[in-house]
Every structure is written in structure tokens, then in C-alpha cells.
Amino acid sequence: MIPISLNINRLQHLLDLYKLSKEDFLLLINKGKKRPLTEKDLFKSEIKIEHLKRIDKVFNKGLNYYINPDEPIKSTDESIFFRKHKFNAELNFASKKIVTQFEEEKISISSISKLSDISLDRLLPIVTVKDNPQYVANEVSRSLYPKFNRNLKEFLKALISKLADQNIFVYEFVETWNKKDKANVEGISLSPNVIVLKRLQKSFRREIFTLAHELGHYLLNEEEIDEKISEYTIDYFSLGKIEKWCNDFAFYFLAQEYSTVIMDLETASAKNDYHTDLLEMITEKTNLSLIALYTRLLINNKISAKNYNTIKEDLYVKYKDKEDAEKIRKELDKAEGRKSKGSTPKPIQSPLLIKTMQFAYLEGIINEVEFCRRLNLKPNKLELFLQ
């Protein structure tokens, strides 16, 4: 088989982007392979096509990327990984690929919007950690807080729509249950106007809180990649100023007028049943989770660490019991031949993305195939998005 030319500098550029040593790269390349490839097999000007395909299985750039003779340019515009070197997560490779995917999407959308003469200028002010997060939450709520809906998914969609009105793109990424290498991030804020969320099908309350937290990063004009938002753990106290501010902002933004109720409570204890009935009512009125409310009590010195940990463990057991019951139900359905009703969830699409694609299509910037691909549409659904 005739070897194919490889631009080694482009391969090295990807290693730099993903912060991969050659040793780590070879581990990824040789995963599941009986006869491992070596550095000599891959880092040379001419390479076997099957080896190049193996490389692209790791990076998903398309074969043309590696044979392009143009030299790569390391730019801070290309990736947050060239703009920032420390994050609130120990990113695994799957997470780095997700971040890179949405960096590329961001750059593409920016180009399309400019060609379509669509303005994506920032409409919300930039604040600092010196600003009171409760005051900021109250101020931005006037334009950003949607009509309340107890349906968690619908509330999340409405909040994404509100952010779209302020020229902020919100994307979800979905990972199937059987995916082997899952991303270990739940929230990403990319400059200048992109927020990315991991779809948490079993915990929309946490996803809503994550979105509010990432909105905090947007308001501070501070990019970040978050593994899990610490409003749900005692780790809050070890956070830096920015993460604490974003957590505080998210709480006040979602709690609305109930933040005062929570702050005025007497210390939660067995004597007042830990305010269980009241806090359960507030979860229904705010879409904040019980553990988020109890964490806020802990932050406000309204519950002891011992009692907090007991309640947290109890809530975890209840959640685990519910999860186990659901697993048993599915196993019984399978054993008795009943088909599961579950399906892979579709990401919520921002109205801002849809509007941008509509303009681009009508202006002839993109064609029908590209329009459908970007909005994950079947061609026969095209007309529905052009009305």
C-alpha cells in the first residue's frame, strides 16, 4: 500500500492543544490494539493510511487535516486551552474533545453571523467579584428569569431562550449510557458568549443550577470549565473567590424572593424537623434541589456540619433507592419481553442558534445540507424551521 504524506507539525499541534505527551498519545492510539504502534510508526513524513485513520479515531479532524501542507498557527482564538491553563476540573480526554468541539462551533458560528450581518454584541454588563452577587442576581433577573415552571425541562428551555435574547448561546451535549469514555465536565463557559452544559437527564435541577453558575462566569467575563458545581457539596468552603461568587449568584438567581425566607430561618435541628416541609415547598417554587438548599443553610451557619452530612447521606440513600428500583423495573421489562420506552435525549437547541442558521440559509451563506446538519434536522423538517 502506498504511504501518504503527513504534516507532522499538524499532529504536534493537536498534541499541544490537548496537552498530550507522545507517551499519552500512544496509549490512546493503542487502546485495544494487540500490536501497538510506536512513535517511529506515526511521527514521520510518510505514513500508512490505516495508521492515519487510527490517529483520526483519536482526534476526529478528518484525514485532510493531517495531510494539509499549511503550517498550523497556535492562537488564543483557537482554544481555551491556549488561553488558560488551569481549570476547576482534572479534564479527561473525552472532556477535552467536547471543549474543542464547541470551540470550533463557536468560531464557525461567529464567522457565519458576520457574513449574515447578525450582531452578537454583548448586551449584559460585566461585573466583578466585588459586586454583591445577590444584588446582581436581582438586577439581571428582570430580563433573564423566565416565567416559573415546575416542569424542570421546560424551565431549563425557557431560561436558555432568555439567554438567547441576550446574545448568549447555550448548548447541551448528550452522552449515551453505553459510551465507554465519558466527559467528566458538566459546565463550560467560553468567551465571548457560549455556555455548554452536559445533559443531566436524571437531574435537571442540577443542570439548571449549573447553567445559572456558568451565567455567573459570563457576567464576570471569566472563562471556566467546571466538573461539578460545589453548591452540592461541603467543598464550597475551599473554593476561590470566582467560584464562590458564581455559586452565590446562582443560588440568589434561582431562589428569587425565597432567598430571604431561607436566610431568616432559625438554625435547622431535630427540634424543628430541619425545616423539611418548608424546604420541600421551596424546591417546588424555585427548582432548587433540597441538597442545594441545605448547603445554603450550611454556608449561612444555619445548620451544623454534622446534621448537614446526616441529611446529605439520607438524601443520597433515597436517590440511590429510587435509582435501584428503576434499574430493577427495566430488568423485569426486559425479562418479560417488554420494550424499553427510553431513548437517547435530544439536546435543547438555543433559539439564537436557530435564528442564526435561518438568516445564514436565507442569505445563501449555508446550503440546505449544512442547515439540516447544524440543527440535526431531517430534510423533510426543513420548512418547519423557515416559517
C-alpha span between 320 and 326 (Å, rounded): 10
Q: Is the pLDDT of residue 61 over 90?
A: yes
- Rounded to the nearest angstrom, the gap between the alpha carbon of residue 131 and the centroid of all alpha carbons in its chain is 26
What pLDDT was estimated at residue 177? 77
Contact 375, 201 (CB under 8 A): no
Q: Is the pLDDT of residue 168 over 60?
A: yes
Alpha carbons within 13 A on the beta-carbon side of 102:
27
What is the reported pTM? 0.92
C-alpha span between 265 and 336 (Å, rounded): 51
What pLDDT was estimated at residue 234? 57
What pLDDT was estimated at residue 65? 95
3-state secondary structure of 239: coil
Q: Is the pLDDT of residue 276 over 70?
A: yes
> Which of left, alpha, beta for 129 (phi over 0: left; psi -120 to 50: alpha)?
alpha
Measured in degrees and rounded to the nearest 5, phi and psi for residue 26 equal -65, -35
Q: What is the mean pLDDT of residues 163-182?
A: 92
C-alpha span between 62 and 146 (Å, rounded): 41
What pLDDT was estimated at residue 233? 58
What pLDDT was estimated at residue 230? 62
Give the H or E element holding residue 4.
strand 4-5
Q: What percent of the chain has pLDDT over 90?
A: 77
CB atoms within 10 A of CB 340: 9
**DSSP per position, 150-212:** SSHHHHHHHHHHHHHHTT-EEEEE---TT-SS----SEEEETTTEEEEE--TT-HHHHHHHHH
What pLDDT was estimated at residue 27? 93
Mean pLDDT, the chain, whole residue set = 91
Q: What is the mean pLDDT of residues 103-125?
A: 94
Measured in degrees and rounded to the nearest 5, phi and psi for residue 334 equal -65, -45
Strand partners, 173: 198
Q: What is the mean pLDDT of residues 191-208?
A: 93
Per-residue CA distances from 154 to 204, 208, 222, 348, 385 (Å): 10, 11, 28, 10, 20
Any idea which residue has 466538573 for its cell?
A: 227
Q: Is the pLDDT of residue 283 over 60?
A: yes
In this structure, what DSSP letter does residue 34 have?
A: S
pLDDT in tens, 343-358: 788 999 999 999 999 9
Measured in degrees and rounded to the nearest 5, phi and psi for residue 273 equal 55, 35
What pLDDT was estimated at residue 239? 84
What pLDDT was estimated at residue 236? 78
3-state secondary structure of 5: strand
User: Which comes out higher in pLDDT, residue 59 or 89?
Assistant: 59
Q: What's the pLDDT band for 181 if we cut at 50, 70, 90? A: confident
pLDDT in tens, 220-260: 999 999 987 765 555 778 889 999 999 999 999 999 999 99
pLDDT in tens, 294-334: 999 999 999 999 999 999 999 888 877 677 677 677 677 66
Q: What is the mean pLDDT of residues 72-86?
A: 93
Q: What is the mean pLDDT of residues 109-138?
A: 96
Selection from 138, 355, 158 nearest residue 259 by Cα: 138
3-state secondary structure of 88: strand
Q: What's the pLDDT band for 132 if we cut at 50, 70, 90? A: very high
Q: What is the mean pLDDT of residues 145-162?
A: 97
Which of 13-17, 128-132, 209-213, 339-343 is predicted with the least confidence, judged by mean pLDDT? 339-343
User: Which comes out higher in pLDDT, residue 135 or 33?
Assistant: 135
What pLDDT was estimated at residue 237? 80
C-alpha span between 301 and 311 (Å, rounded): 15
Residues in the chain: 387
What pLDDT was estimated at residue 274? 96
Cell (9 digits) for 142: 428582570
What pLDDT was estimated at residue 11? 95
User: Which comes out higher in pLDDT, residue 339 or 207?
Assistant: 207
Measured in degrees and rounded to the nearest 5, phi and psi for residue 228 equal -140, 140
